[in-house]
Amino acid sequence: MALGGGSARGFAHIGVLKVLEEAGISAGIVAGSSMGAVIGAVYCAGVPLSVLERLATNSRRNLWMDWTFPRMGLVAGDRLEQLLLLLTRRKTFQELERNFAAVACDLCSGEKVVIREGTVARAVRASAAIPGVFRPVTDGEVVLVDGSVVERVPAPTARSMGADVVIAVDVGIYLTNQKPQHLLDVISQSLDILQRDLCRYTLDEADVVIRPQLQEIAPGHFHRAAEAIRAGEEAARKELPHIRKLLCGKEHYAQVT
């Protein structure tokens, strides 16, 4: 699974994973960028999707938003990291139930950084650090921000991790003359514009692309998590026949060889 970034739209990943789980389809490899890393990490830590759904739909945004003096970002990110430490039970990557990677970007070199070791919560905190909103994560000479800057949907990363079949979830880039309502919308929509062409190339590495319809949900609409989850469920159900056919073909090939 390659779970893409998209702030509040990323709650759609929960719906996609629910449908795949109900169909008996389990991912052995998960790569996530930004919100995709948040959902992917908690999922790989073994937290039931029902618990993740309740948290997304019933919690207030201030559970993970700790506003700070805007030197490097408006949100410190410590609260998000503490929540992730709780949900993942402070697990390292080696302790997860599935092979997981969080994608981030090094502001100093401009390079993609694939994090696959250390504490999961810290890595996800870096992957979700939207530039200008969350304070970057500094590790020595490396300054890490949101993985969506370099790889919005981490299909290439999932492929490089050894995945035979890559199912990507793209929660969308929507430029429909919708006016931004606050700073998160301004920054997220600006990144969307910059990433339009880049996203096409990363999706070339996917065998299946699930695209929930989230045009009415802005990046900052965290209160509409339930709608995003439903959109993820609907999009996944539409792709299920294709996914089953693809997986059956791979299984048959493996048996023959």
Pairing of strands 142-146, 99-106: antiparallel
Query: Tokens at residue 53, please?
Result: 């759904």
- Pick the catalytic residue from 7, 33, 34, 188: 34
Is position 146 annotated as part of the catalytic site?
Answer: yes
Is position 34 annotated as part of the catalytic site?
Answer: yes
CA distance 247 to 123: 30
Query: Tokens at residue 133, please?
Result: 């909103």
- Pick the catalytic residue from 106, 146, 170, 185: 146
Strand-pairing partners, residue 29, are 99
180-198 burial, b at 16+ Cβ within 10 Å, e below that, comes to eeeebbbbbbebbeebeee
User: Which one, of 186, 160, 188, lies nearest residue 35 by Cα?
Assistant: 188
Catalytic residues: 34, 146
